[in-house]
Structure 1
């Protein structure tokens, strides 16, 4: 009997001896759900799963049964100007997916939930504050041999309404300059790789260079985002994460702004610091592609690269 069959059998046994509540609570207030929990609750009408993967074609090749696909570069952004999806745009997506105020929303994706965490940040901004991430994401689901499906699900439309006012989870260039030039008591966390942080490279290998300057925002500390996850894609424990960030001076005693290249990797760290550790955190989604191209702003560049040259 494979893992999924065991989960189904266990759920059937539970149903036989007890009345199942209308809504199965997603592990209390935990911002994460396990693959075991999700496998056992896929048929619950009050659970809705969304896939947000870096590889936007992986969904069609097989996804968690019942999951709705969200293409990060079209569904979760404004396609005309550089911005996240509007409240009205996300509301339409949620209505089509049958999400109500009582729905437990679970996001997952490839690459250790890289863009799934960005999706969670976007959802949170627009009032879906209880969105969960599947701990381990697509990587662990597949490693556990749990089922994938190629069918596109259809749900009865809902009438959910999102608030017009966005949650204060987003930092702007002016907020960052308040720290760098105005002395605001806020910690800056750069979650890019060490070579990006030092200015040795402009962007990760294979990724388009989008800034004319390399380096980092003055005063920022470096914590590469991948340091928050285990080999199997799950997040490290809260105790491990708290200790790792405290080692670089991030202990939650003052507000934090995270940033990366375009704001997606830093959303992963935002999720760790805000949702798992409970710190006051905003994500600067303009990130280095905005800051590194802005005229007249100070930059720290230990490597000394100028216009791509040493």
Structure 2
């Protein structure tokens, strides 16, 4: 599947004139300083959309400010995480298409028409893929995102872009098939993109330029992000294509077992047939890893079997 080829503002569809209804879901935590401005700008580009702000138990006036700005507010009684807020918004949305945005002002609403036009053109999900000109990204974050994109592309065997971007439009009926896979904290963008691609849905990309956070303080920390990045990698490997990781590891261990035997046969104890413990351990370990990966692959495949009526429609 080739990525959607677009440039900003290529759409000829007027905002509010789409062949579907739209719900904008904005997870928010302590964003009272800027949420009204975000809602106001969204209204500029798509005035007829339902705007849902999911307040994840903020300690400030996020809910009151968002409600005064005209949004429908859903408040969590306890803080459950960004992903949980997104899932709440998707479940409670009335629109046929859900547009996901953050509340911190980093996602420019001027790209909304491009994202929605991609859905109108037949894509099931359209992702706002950040360009290199995006403001506020550190070199570590950019390198990490590129590594994650490369891993994701390898796992689903097609090109993916900006797996961590939360700026996206999705057909609600499609994302509801996978909503239980989305984590309650972070990495819901990664999970949703790979889940749709794995299931055979169409995902397009629109280049967007991110902006600096408008006020407030970011909770991003280098150590925390590193741990989170590692957990995301483990999660997507387990969910989407375990055998594409476990099989190469098993093969490497087989090669190391052979090398260990050859070293023993020709160097350590020349021409005496003796299998060293290291070779035995590597060989047995490779078999265990391969069988574990094969079993995990079968379990993962069950998650992405589309219902019979969906397959017939395709």
Which has a greater percent of helix?
2
Structure having the higher Rg: 2
TM-score normalized by structure 2?
A: 0.28
TM-score under structure 1 normalisation? 0.29
